[in-house]
Amino acid sequence: MMDDYGNDVWNYAYFLTKNAEQADDLSQEVFVRAYSGIAHYRGDCTLKTWLLTITRNTTFTYRKSRFFRSSLWGETLALDVEEVSSDLRQMKPEKRISHPSAEVEVMRKAHVHEIWTIVLALPEKFREILLLHLRYELTAVEIAEMLRISQGTVKSRLSRAKNKVRKQYEERSR
């Protein structure tokens, strides 16, 4: 499980916490919980969805804990450009036939950085659904089960999130 889904779990934990150390700790905790609870895995969803659900629940449990609220973990850390670029390369690898020129690559990175800056500034309910849909390629049904909301709500939030990103990007491009 760790070989197949370790990066997905870590990236999702990092997305939720915006802290690499916390994502490391939470990822370890997720796999400990998954290992100890594997007998309870019913197969209603994919293993990936099950692990991401554990990641989400574990992260929210830590957020509610007194230790989290009273420590530095509760602070939101600013992401610098290199971290975001590195994360985005991991999030959505592109298949290329030829190597782009340096100018094209710089423009692409700037464009991707700008889009993800907008995405990361969205309210959490939109941000999370976009990430689950675009990065982890979960269906609306899987997202609805994972977040314990209706499928219609997932579709609505996904549509609104895409529209918000599109609108903000167009405003910045003017």
pLDDT at 98: 54
In this prediction the pTM is: 0.57
Which CATH number describes the domain made up of 1-76?
Answer: 1.10.1740.10
Total residue length of the chain: 174
- In angstroms, the CA 1 to CA 85 distance is 27
- In angstroms, the CA 130 to CA 124 distance is 10
136 or 49: whose pLDDT is higher? 49
Range in 18-32, 81-95, 140-154 the model is least confident about: 81-95
CB 118 within 8 A of CB 168: yes
pLDDT at 63: 73
CA distance between the termini of the chain: 46
Architecture of the domain spanning 78-174: Orthogonal Bundle (1.10)
The 10s digit of each residue's pLDDT in 104-159 is 767 766 777 778 788 888 898 898 898 888 888 889 999 999 899 999 999 999 99
3-state secondary structure of 71: coil
CB 15 within 8 A of CB 76: no
Residue 82 pLDDT more than 50? Answer: no
The domain spans of the chain are: 1-76, 78-174
51: Cα within 13 Å, side-chain hemisphere: 25
